[in-house]
Amino acid sequence: MAAPARSRRDRPAGGAPGVSGARRAKPPAWLAAAVRAPLSPGGIDDVIRALRRAAPSWRPTAVAEVAAEERDPFRVLVACLLSLRTQDTTTRVAARRLFGVADSPATIVGLSPRRIEELIFPVGFYRTKARTLRALCRQLLDRFAGRVPAELDTLLTLPGVGRKTANLVVTVGFGKPGICVDTHVHRISNRLGFVRAATPERTELALRAKLPPRHWIGYNDLLVAFGQNVCRPLSPHCSRCPVAELCHRVGVARAR
């Protein structure tokens, strides 16, 4: 005999029929504390609006410039890899020089590691990056017919690709929702008082829980440009900051 149908009232709230609330995973304690930071989602709306008004006066990031020239996920991926531990001024020149010679997985694989080193010098760890780029391009050809995958988890299987790079490719390269957290985004999100998180990895998870999804795609580019131009790591320019009245200035001991 078939079991009687369960009424809507019998079903656990917020879950599928037959899944008890006790079995749903609870967020870790650190995440609950991280999202209880004082700046609200409404407050971050005001911050982002103010930063967007000020942004045209700042030089965009190197990755944003590459994407603006040609929204090619492969170019974005390569520029991201070159930018790791490298100043944007160096990344811009190196990316332009490399793409002038080779701008596809097949053409990069056709270069020797020594030639790639010459093209990307003096980015940080240029010898290691040359080998990584060649190995990454080989996998793109062998596994994905030369196309960059658009899924975060798949990107993370490629040589040299961590969460920062993968999220940036997803957002900037493909225009899909994601949150890329580098040192600027980690520092500023905590300094504003929007999250309380000890590491970039925890900041990413806290932002995924608290940041309104409409801000995800542009969040990294906006905060990195803000961090490079105004909200410096040491002695930020609070006297000319467009969000000074909204910022909780967490951890700021000295400002200009």
- Give the residue numbers annotated as catalytic, written as ranges: 164, 182
Say if CB 51 and CB 243 are below 8 A apart.
yes
Q: Which two tokens stand for residue 139?
A: 């996998």
Instruction: Report the first-to-last Cα separation within the chain, whole angstroms.
Output: 77
Of 173, 83, 225, give the one whose Cα is nearest residue 98. Answer: 83
- Burial of 58 per CB tally in 10 Å (0-12, 13-18, 19+): middle
C-beta contacts of 20-26 below 8 A and 24+ residues apart: none
- Residue 182 identity: D
- Locus of tokens 């694989």: 109
